[in-house]
Structure 1
Amino acid sequence: MPEENDVEGAQDYGKKARSAGRPKQSSRPKPPERDEDAVSEDVISKSKRLVRTEEGRWWRSIGRLGPYQSLALLAVPVCLVEPLKLLALAVAGDGHWLTGTAMIIAAYAVSLLVIERLFVIVRPQLLTLRWFAKLWTWFAGLRRKTIRPFGGV
């Protein structure tokens, strides 16, 4: 059974043998190593800031449009998405129900994610139009009356 001193001596010999061929390291301190998670979080936060800045620029410029320009801007995606929903229904009715269902889901996603967000931004400009303000007031009242029996607002 080897004694502890023999094991320690063997470990020291191994360290000396491994370091024999290496050049001596300088006495300069190493820069602190950054954790990979910290680096990736830093990159992610910078990219989010850039996206927010670019996105904010777009939304602010859209918010500065006049009422009729806002109406035209809102009409373009609506005129593209709404017929797509009808086309998707026809495709599903023709027997391609997976494709039709995927088209309907995509159209509703665009409607919800793009058009709704765009409407929230341009609504103040649209409400400056008298006819739109009356129409919106009527629609909001109808929606409120419809939802009230179900425990809504």
Structure 2
Amino acid sequence: METQIGLMGKNGGPFASARKACRHVYDALARDWDPISPLALLLVPTGLVEPLKLVAVAVAGDGHWITGTVMIGAAYAASLLLVDRLFVMVKPKLLTLPWFARLWRWFVAVRSKAVELFRRA
């Protein structure tokens, strides 16, 4: 009898092959990209998802709170599942931009200090 390892199983879950295929396609394309192309690639879904959150708040404020709540949930899910995964993929290429590397180091330092303050409390 086979035992399952964690929630994702032994093979990394039902979408493991799709994730590997997407990663392989991205790696093949990104080898020849300049650092600005991944930034543009990241801005497209971000530019679609973030305004959707504002629209969802307006819909909820107009009295359609169930529809607004579902829209907010969907927007956050899209942000988490799409934009976050895409950022993880393009971050090494973005860190070759000097201004982005400085901004990222500053963000990580501020985040570390904030986490440290909350852990002390």
The two structures have a TM-score, normalised by structure 2, of: 0.78
Instruction: Indicate the SS of the match to 1:95.
Output: coil
Which among 56, 63, 72 is matched to residue 40 of structure 2? 72
Which among 62, 72, 87 is matched to residue 104 of structure 1? 72
2:24 aligned residue: 57
Contact 1:91 1:97 in 2 (8 A): yes
CA–CA distance in structure 1, aligned partners of residues 104 and 64 of structure 2:
38
Q: List per-residue Cα deviations over 1:72-106 (Å, max 9, x = no partner).
A: 00000000000000000000000000000000000
Q: Equivalent pairs: percent with the same residue? A: 54
1:87 aligned residue: 55
1:113 aligned residue: 81
Which among 97, 112, 118 is matched to residue 144 of structure 1? 112
More displaced 10-residue stretch of structure 1: 110-119 or 49-58: 49-58
CA–CA distance in structure 1, aligned partners of residues 54 and 65 of structure 2:
13
Structure 1 unaligned residues grouped into runs of 5+: 1-46
The two structures have a TM-score, normalised by structure 1, of: 0.63
Instruction: Indicate the SS of the match to 2:103.
Output: helix
CA–CA distance in structure 1, aligned partners of residues 29 and 58 of structure 2:
34
CA–CA distance in structure 2, aligned partners of residues 143 and 62 of structure 1:
32
Deviation at 1:60, TM superposition (A): 1.9
1:37 aligned residue: none
CA–CA distance in structure 2, aligned partners of residues 49 and 88 of structure 1:
32
Q: Which has the larger radius of gyration?
A: 1
Task: Give the count of matched residue pairs.
Answer: 107
Shift of the 145–62 alpha-carbon distance from structure 1 to 2, 3 Å rule, reads farther
Structure 2 unaligned residues grouped into runs of 5+: 1-13
2:101 aligned residue: 133
Deviation at 1:57, TM superposition (A): 2.4
**Residue 128 of structure 1 aligns to which amino acid in structure 2?**
T
Deviation at 1:63, TM superposition (A): 4.2
